[in-house]
Amino acid sequence: MKYLMLVGDGMADEPLAELNGMTPLEYAHTPAMDSVASRGRVGLVRTVPDGMPPGSDVANMSLLGYDPAAYYSGRAPIEAASMGVEMGGNDTAFRCNLVNIKDGLMADYSAGHIESADAVRLVTELQQLNSDTVRFYPGVSYRHLLIISGFPAGALECTPPHDITGRPIDSYLPKGAGSTMLMELANKACNILKDSPVNRERIAHGKTPATNIWLWGQGKAVVFPTLHDRFGLSGSVISAVDLVRGLGKLAGLAVRKVEGATGYLGTNYAGKMQAARDALRREDFAFVHVEAPDETSHEGSLAKKLQAIEEFDAHVAAEGLKMCGEIADLRLMILPDHPTLLSTKTHDASPVPFAVCGAGIRPAGVQIYSEKSAQGATMYTGTTLFEEFINGDFE
């Protein structure tokens, strides 16, 4: 058996008045995802355990069959694993966003979806703050990493910047153990960014400058049992996002990087799906993650979210269906990791719909893939859904 999981990050949403009470997933033109539903089954999965934050870290960990309540320690150490950054027992990792703060407001959590080339130059400038205990590492676009050795133990509250778009930042600054150290670092970084030639170039070209860093997602190093150990599976993860690559690496999957994969609209979909084809020629499992629906939801753009969903359908889901005809005994699943609500521009912990078809799956008579079509269906956790996907028949 071969297994292909296609994840449209943040595709699910709530009914919207401007769509006559439909969700974006219902309203968008999605013939490929509807075909997956009609060929197989639709159900619901709760990817975020009660009391846990509805982050992509928690939710994608669930989709890979790991219980976040048992394994989750924070987002940043997962990204460190992806980047090949080794962490010692005394190290704490932080996600380091390049952001734009204007007049005390979180104007843009992504600094205008800053290009990686500019971002790497900026983080290289920030490395003048490196010391025996502080280390900055460049990542992709606005997503970077900070490692602090000997960070104070105790409760620390840090807010994801994409949760506070357009809001005053004062009440969302770090609170608790070590918060003074983080603010001092952030202030020093702000002074470096203010004088950076990279930002001067961005402003001259009408682009959003990165005015600040924003530290969050902290945690200690984490270790998972691999999917090979648990299920005998070999496989690959394909994503533009270090977080998802890190989860795959921790799960024992190969990380297949695709040139031109941006984590936004117009990413290299063809390259991603070719990487999945290549993986499944020699391996059992491929996990393809597409970030654009989530990013456009954080922007609060209905038009862009609809575009992201339709691009996912045409270039990812449709290719997955083609692969069902190309690869014997292939089982295909399509789903979001969590809802990302346009109304709040952030994640939600509600269950999400999945559609599954292919080897060993009998059609159940559902013709549409949407939140509504999944209502009343069997409810899974991420762990039980993965186990059913690998070993069950969804009867």
Which pLDDT tens digit goes with each residue over 75-128?
899 999 888 899 999 999 999 999 999 999 999 999 999 999 999 999 999 999
Predicted confidence at residue 82, as pLDDT, reads: 85
Same domain, yes or no: 114 and 183: yes
d(CA 242, CA 239): 8
Verify that 381 and 262 share a domain, yes or no. Answer: yes
Q: Mean pLDDT, to the nearest integer, of 288-300?
A: 96
Q: Is 361 among the domain residues?
A: yes
Q: Are residues 140 and 242 located together in one domain of the fold?
A: no
What's residue 342's pLDDT? 97
Domain termination residue (choose one: 194, 219, 244): 219
Instruction: Specify whether 122 is located in the same domain as 184.
Output: yes
pLDDT of residue 140: 87
Q: Is there a domain that residue 152 lies in?
A: yes
Q: What is the mean pLDDT of residues 238-265?
A: 93
Together in a domain, 66 and 168? no
pLDDT attached to residue 132: 96
Residue 93 belongs to what domain range? 82-219
Looking at 192-201, 258-267, 287-296, which range is the least confident one? 258-267
Residues 153 and 181 in one domain: yes
Locate all alpha helices (DSSP H) within 210-298, ordered by sequence.
227-231, 242-250, 269-282, 292-298
Q: Are residues 193 and 285 in the same domain?
A: no
Tell which of 181, 204, 219 closes a domain: 219
**Cα 69 from Cα 152, distance rounded (Å):** 23
Same domain? 313 vs 237: yes
Identify whether residues 184 and 300 lie together within a single domain. Answer: no
- Listed residues 186, 219, 252: the one ending a domain: 219
pLDDT band for position 386 (cuts 50, 70, 90) = very high
**This prediction's pTM:** 0.84
Same-domain check for residues 246 and 208? no
Mean pLDDT of the chain: 96
Closest by Cα among 246, 268, 216, 271 to 64: 246
Question: Is residue 77 in a domain?
Answer: no
Which residues lie across from 149 on neighbouring strands? 91
Q: For position 242, what pLDDT does the model report?
A: 86
Assess whether 162 and 266 both reside in one domain.
no
Mean pLDDT along residues 349-354: 97
User: Is position 150 within any domain?
Assistant: yes
Nearest-angstrom CA–CA distance, 59 and 338: 6
Give how many domains the chain has, as a whole number. 2
- 176 and 241: one domain? no
Burial 258-294 (b: 16+ CB within 10 A, else e): beebbbbbebbbebbbebbeebbeebbbbbbbbbbbb
Instruction: Give pLDDT, residue 107.
Output: 97
Cβ-count burial of 190 within 10 angstroms (0-12 exposed, 13-18 middle, 19+ buried)? middle
| More confident position, 330 or 263 | 330
Residue 349 located in a structural domain: yes
User: What CATH number is attached to the domain comprising 68?
Assistant: 3.40.720.10
What tens digit of pLDDT does each residue of 162-213 get?
889 999 999 999 999 999 999 999 999 999 999 999 999 999 999 999 999 9
Torsion of CA 193, 196, 202, 208, to 10 degrees: 10
Tell me whether residue 242 is in a domain: yes
In the chain, alpha helices (H): 24-27, 31-39, 56-63, 68-71, 75-83, 116-126, 179-194, 197-204, 227-231, 242-250, 269-282, 292-298, 302-312, 318-326, 371-374, 382-391
338 DSSP assignment: S
